[in-house]
Structure 1
Amino acid sequence: MSAESATNWQTYRRLLSYVRPFWLAFLLAVVGNIIYAAASTGMAAAMEYVIKAIENPTDQNRLMLTGMIVGVFAMRGLGTFLGQYFINYVGRHVVNALRNQVFDRLLRLPSRFYDDHSSGHLVSKLTFNVEQVADATTNAVTITLREGLTIVGLMGFMLYTNWKLTLIFLALGPVIGFVVSYASKRFRKLSRRIQGSMGDITHVSSETISGYRVVRIFGGEQYERDRFHEVSGRNLTQSLKMASTQAISVPVIQILVALSIAALVWVMLAPEIRGGMTTGQLVAFITAATTMAKPIRQVTSVHAKIQKGVAAAHDVFETIDEAPEEDSGTFAPERVKGNISFRQVRFHYRDQLDDVLKGIDLEIPQGQSVALVGRSGSGKSTLVSLLPRFYDYTDGEVLIDGVALPEYTLAALRRQIALVTQNVVLFNDTIAANIAYGALREYSREEIREAAAKAHALEFIDRMPKGMDTLIGDNGVMLSGGQRQRLAIARALLKDAPILILDEATSALDTESERHIQDALDLVMKGRTTLVIAHRLSTIEKADRILVMDGGQIVEAGRHEDLLGQGGIYAQLHQTNFSEAG
């Protein structure tokens, strides 16, 4: 067995391990398929009695024959129900378990994983790929069990009736096996390509749908149409290759089976082979051989579904096996004071050689507000991303209250930090649910309203049709940019964390709204350690300390007036970027 086939078998065996909790339902499915196979074999064996009844039509034979027909079809019906229902019961539970497991792992994967994978491809794993696995664990297993057991039953009957003729029938078995093996490898390869192209389709469509306004205003319809047609066409090409392989392999196998049956009929007429078989036995034997053509075709055609499922399972298990965020810390304080220390901190992204942060040394006492300014790419956002451990620094040390970040449990560390970013994330839920999101759900309606009031959000919330219970659409599409940002600020206010990170928190607000928000931020920043990334003068000039970053280093530090007086980088930034706000 090659390394590839061994890996595929291991994958399928791992997939079948998910069946174990539902062993009783699986056993009932097996019993149902055994009943079906026995009934199918019984139909072939019954041909001997049909011939006898025709040759000798007594009342007893007529009664026995009609009873046998009804009995065989009743058995097949019972077997079909048990086999199909219970294997689908197992399959859907397996899919549910896999889908939950993939989603749970996605919630625990580090930021770099999301940097490397588009959201469209990840959604495709949860939808398309998992459904491919469903086919491998339901339809494929049903057909393999039912038709496989039917082949075994018919083969047993044929061996019992005349073993010499059966061996002749089996002579083309190795050739059929070769065709199946070749088709399986091709199915597997094409399935991987189809999964990749489905991920591309999901990715392109989700980008276009979420960014439809930009697409329309910049005339991107034709570009997006061409992009979608390209990835959809690639999926079509691979799907047609899969269909052609399946369409060719099935009739080839049928022809091989037909050649076996033809050779059988040719030889069975020879007296030395036929032996003492009666006409009824001969007809029953030929019926069994011809009946076997359908299950052989079904079993060989099901390889396409199995290989699709194995290829999809490879991809699904690859995600499940991704290493989650490292969370080996044990320190879990209820609330920290908020003293932050950066000691010779260096950081570079995984695929980059140059450091983004180059030996940052910084002490921020509790309750102090620090503004980070600098040109794009200077390392401001990267620096604050280290605090909640969205990324782990590559050298040096970051401490909160004298304890290194890795010593905290992730849950405890992130409980200490509230975050408001420029790109506000809202959910297709009510206003109240968006403010009191996640762990904040325990807060009362009065506390939620108080946070909204501090963020000056009640001004528009109370004008909404259902107030706090108004649904705001996908990512808050029914709200303006300023309203969305005020909800994010209300969420941070409600959390009441000792450390606050404001990354362009007032960028989407008009001047009047910003003045109200700034009052609220001044209130909430009191007694909290606050890191502010902003380009607006009004947010920066009141900070206790301003740090100017350039090239991954802190090049200037001081208060607003002092830095202006130095005439350095901050003064230049103020002159170019802040003059309009001033």
Structure 2
Amino acid sequence: MSNTAVREQEWGKFIKLLLKSKLPWKWYMMTVIAGIIMSTAIVKLPQLAGQVMQGQIFDKQLVTQFIVLTVVTTLLKAAVNIFTSWVNLNTDRNLEKSIWKKLIRMPMKFINSLNPSSLTSRVTSDAISVSQALSQFFALFYVTYTLVLTLITIYGMNSKMFIAMFAIIPWVLLVTILPGRFMFRAQNKIQSRYSEFTNFVSERLANLRLIKSASSEKHEVQKGFATAEDQYKSELYLAKVNLIVQPFIFSTQGVCMAITLIYGGVLVNRNELEMGQLITLVIYSQVIPAMISQYILCYQEIKRAQGATNKISEIMESDSEKVEGKISFALPDDDIVFNKVSFSYGRENVLSDLSFVIPKGKVTAIIGPSGSGKSTILNILERFYEPKSGKITFGNVPVEDIHLDEWRSAIGYVPQNSPLLSGSIWDNIVYGLDREVNEEEVIRAAEQANIYEYIKKLPAGFHTKIGELGSKLSGGQKQRIAIARTIITNPDYLLLDEATCSLDPQNEHEVQKALNNLMQGRTTVVVAHNIKTIANADNIIVLDQGKVTATGKHDQLYTENSLYRKYFDLQFH
């Protein structure tokens, strides 16, 4: 793809993102209009100043006009600043909402392709970069208007001075654009190093237990120093670039003024220019380079934000989960059928041509070696992922035709190491419910999950804060709260992925009893290490290397399937 095509694509993404986001367009237009009126006043002021300084200081009408225009210009500048700030705040908020709304409905395949810090950056810093660039985009309108109006006014005053001042523009562009490229690269380098340092610190803090247990503090301190040093060097590079560039940028106004004074003085001597006009032109000589520099800065800010725009566009233009279905999912009344289902994570094939039936109202257990695809089947049943090929049907209805939210609401899913959210124990038990619950229901669920005895000993009881991701709880306590959450939802289906693996034998026994009661009459799929749970299942599926090697009941499989028999015998030896 050519550079031109790439640039067009980037601008296309930028425009498309703006149209998709609910932005405060009325406020943007008010900002632009106020900016244009302000620019008109700014261009008019030097003319009045020239007349006043030419000796018309006692012209009351002229002085009044000058004072009024100065006050109006000041008020307009304040209005533009207020509008811009308000627009930025609203744009940040609306972009963050749009990105978050889209992100929360993205398929797990997309979410897993990015690390959490990158996703966080999309919602926060990238959104801010785009909103700032958008403000600059609209600022270009009145900056361009000011520059064009100034040049037209100069031409109307004296065409020779117009040519002389217009000839300065290439110099202004030269000393602004060339150094600007170095500054742009330096800024990008700083952003990259800052991101690396943030990711480094976040990852180490999240794994501080590992670092301490491995006695790697000294090593990690040195790595942290090296990462911070890289960031320092990139900032130092920008400081050096600024040190070189700033004198050249400041020189543009001096050069413009010098040319205006020298050539203007010649024209005054020839009676081709009045002194008052020269004073006006000297003021304009400061406006032109300032506007050009502002124009370049606006453009650079927009270009700098295009990286963030591309990242956000990647989310906004990606396909969301298919939520709406042709069929409303009411009560479960049929089997779930896998028909030649295959699935892969990227190029890694996980499931190959699976065909089996999960009978309604029965318990189906899945066993197999680690990595055989047991948890993947549950993820596909939850519709976190779509099969690469094959069909999953609910009776004769393809599951993709069933409303996604209704499907998931009918399923109680308890994975290994069930995640919790920051907040209270109560918040986590009732999370996801679309109805009001009373304390009796919550207590009953906690009792069945064998966590109530622990909760009632806490000073704040159910309202105890559990810390970020449940950091104040043990693994077993977190798992039992997750089980209580599943119990209170009273789901039609149960997916249990090693749901009791984090519990000690006593707690496992108690919770397993609660789960056994919950499984009665419900279609249940179990991945478990407890051989009793597996042996008592109505239907057992044996997996090996992503393929079904056998299905049936315990007695039949123990006799006919060597892998199942080996797995069963290992539990008792």
Task: Report the TM-score when normalising by structure 1.
Answer: 0.88
Q: For the Cα contact (< 8 Å) 2:88–2:131, is it kept in 1?
A: yes
SS state of the match for residue 24, structure 2?
helix
Match of residue 7 from structure 1 = 9
Greater Cα offset, 22-31 or 459-468? 22-31
Note if 1:90 corresponds to 2:84: no
Cα distance, 1:195–1:563 mapped onto 2, change above 3 Å: farther
For 1:312 and 1:301, the matched residues in 2 are separated by 17
Out of 358, 381, 390, the residue aligned to residue 387 of structure 1 is 381
Trace 1:119-158 onto structure 2 (pairs within 5 A).
119-138=116-135, 140-141=136-137, 144=140, 147-158=143-154
Q: For the residues of structure 1 that align with 2:549 and 2:15, how far apart are their CA atoms?
A: 58
Q: CA RMSD in A?
A: 3.1
Is contact 1:246–1:301 with CA below 8 Å preserved after alignment? no
Alignment correspondent of 1:552: 546
Letter paired with 2:107: P
2:251 aligns with 255
Instruction: Note the C-alpha offset of 1:195.
Output: 5.2
Q: Do 1:422 and 1:503's aligned partners in 2 also have CA atoms closer than 8 Å?
A: yes
User: Could you tell me which amino acid in structure 2 is paired with residue 102 of structure 1?
Assistant: I
Alpha-carbon distance change, 402 to 463 in structure 1, aligned in 2, over 3 angstroms: farther
* Contact 2:264–2:273 under 8 Å retained in 1: no
More deviation in 30-39 or 427-436?
A: 30-39
**Which structure 2 segments of 5+ residues have no match?**
none
Which residue of structure 1 aligns with residue 476 of structure 2? Answer: 482
TM-score by length of 2: 0.89
Change (3 A) 1:457 1:323: same
Deviation at 1:289?
Answer: 1.0
3-state SS in 1 of match to 2:454: helix
Using a 3 Å threshold, how does the CA distance of structure 1 residues 160 and 4 change in structure 2: closer, same or farther? same
Return the letter of the residue paired with 1:430: S
Aligned counterpart in structure 2 of residue 114 of structure 1, from 88, 97, 111: 111
- The residue number in structure 1 matching 2:337 is 341
Matched position secondary structure for 2:54: helix
User: 1:498–1:392: structure 2 CA closer, same or farther, 3 Å change rule?
Assistant: same
Q: CA deviation at 1:372?
A: 1.5
2:502 matches 1:508:
yes
Q: Which residue of 1 aligns with 2:203?
A: 207
- Residue 99 of structure 1 corresponds to 96
Report 1:432-581 matches (<5 A).
432-560=426-554, 563-564=557-558, 568-576=562-570, 578-579=571-572
Q: CA deviation at 1:103?
A: 0.9
- Tell me the residue number matched to 1:320: 316
CA distance in 2, matches of 1:40, 1:521: 76
Range with greater deviation from structure 2 (563-572 or 128-137): 563-572
Contact 2:172 2:289 in 1 (8 A): no
Query: How many Å separate the matches in 2 of 1:191 and 1:130?
Result: 17
CA distance in 1, matches of 2:26, 2:538: 67
Distance 1:505 1:197, change over 3 A: farther
Q: Per-residue deviation at 1:301? A: 3.0
Q: Structure 1, residues 77-129: CA drift from partner, whole Å, max 9, x if none?
A: 20112101112222222221211111111111111112211011110111111
**What amino acid does structure 2 have at the position aligned with 1:553?**
K
Shift of 1:505: 0.4
User: What does 1:30-429 align with in structure 2 at a 5 Å threshold?
Assistant: 30-53=32-55, 60-61=58-59, 67=64, 70-138=67-135, 140-141=136-137, 144=140, 147-177=143-173, 197-226=193-222, 228-229=224-225, 232=228, 235=231, 251-271=247-267, 275-327=271-323, 329-337=325-333, 339-352=335-348, 355-429=349-423
Q: Which ranges in structure 1 are unaligned for 5 or more consecutive residues?
A: none
Distance 2:156 2:67 in 1: 25
> Following TM superposition, by how much is the alpha carbon of 1:250 offset from its aligned partner in structure 2, in angstroms?
5.2
Return the alpha-carbon distance in structure 2 between the equivalents of residues 128 and 239 of structure 1: 19
**C-alpha distance in 1, partners of 2:137/2:246?**
18
Which deviations, in whole Å up to 9, do the C-alpha atoms of 1:486-543 show, x marking residues without a partner?
1111111122222211111001111111111011011001111111112233433332
CA distance 1:20–1:543, change in 2 (3 Å): closer
Where 1:270 maps in the other structure, the secondary structure is: helix
1:224, distance to aligned residue in structure 2 (A): 4.4
CA–CA distance in 1 between the matches of 2:427 and 2:331? 24
CA distance in 2, matches of 1:395, 1:291: 65
Amino acid at match of 2:38: Y
Q: CA deviation at 1:189?
A: 6.0
After TM superposition, the structure 1 stretch with the greater mean CA deviation from structure 2, 63-72 or 157-166, is 63-72
* CA–CA distance in structure 2, aligned partners of residues 152 and 426 of structure 1: 59
Which of 85-94 and 299-308 deviates more? 299-308
- Equivalent-residue separation in structure 1 for 2:17 and 2:184 (angstroms): 16
The answer on whether the counterparts of 2:177 and 2:296 sit within 8 Å (CA) in structure 1 is no
Q: Secondary structure at the match of 1:346?
A: strand
Instruction: Give the whole-Å Cα distance in 2 for the aligned partners of 1:119 and 1:49.
Output: 63
Structure 1 residues 117 and 12, CA gap change in structure 2 (3 angstroms): closer
Aligned pair count reads 571
Closer, same or farther in 2 for the Cα pair 1:148/1:251, shift >3 Å? farther
Residue pair 1:83, 1:142 contacting (<8 A) in 2 also: no
Alpha-carbon distance in 2 for matches of 1:84, 1:18: 26
Query: Conserved in 2, the CA contact under 8 Å of 1:451 and 1:490?
Result: yes
Q: 426-435 vs 40-49, which deviates more?
A: 40-49
Distance across 2 between alignment mates of 1:274 and 1:146: 36
Percent same amino acid among aligned pairs? 26
State the secondary structure of the residue aligned to 1:390: coil
CA distance in 2, matches of 1:19, 1:415: 30
Deviation at residue 40 of structure 1 after TM alignment: 3.0
Letter matched to residue 519 of structure 2: M
User: Partner of 1:29 in structure 2?
Assistant: 31
Task: State the one-letter code of the partner of 2:285.
Answer: A
Q: 1:446 to 1:201 in 2, by over 3 A?
A: farther
CA drift of 1:226 comes to 5.0
Which residue identity lines up with residue 308 of structure 2 in the other structure?
A
Cα distance change of structure 1 residues 199 and 398 upon mapping to structure 2, 3 Å threshold: farther
Q: Deviations over 1:244-273 (max 9, x none)?
A: 666655543443454344333333333499
CA distance change for structure 1 residues 198 and 437 in 2, over 3 Å: closer, same or farther?
farther
Closer/same/farther in 2, CA of residues 291 and 188 from structure 1, 3 Å limit: closer
Q: Which amino acid aligns with 1:506?
A: T
CA distance, structure 2, for counterparts of residue 274 and residue 12 of structure 1? 53
Q: Secondary structure at the match of 1:269?
A: helix
Contact 2:260/2:281 (8 A) holds in 1: no
Deviation at 1:565, TM superposition (A): 5.1
Residue 564 of structure 1 and its aligned partner are, at CA, apart by 4.6
Residues 371 and 532 in structure 1, CA contact (< 8 A), matched pair in contact too: yes
Moved more, 552-561 or 143-152: 143-152
Moved more, 284-293 or 359-368: 284-293
> What SS class does the counterpart of residue 48 from structure 1 fall into?
helix
Deviation at 1:450, TM superposition (A): 2.2
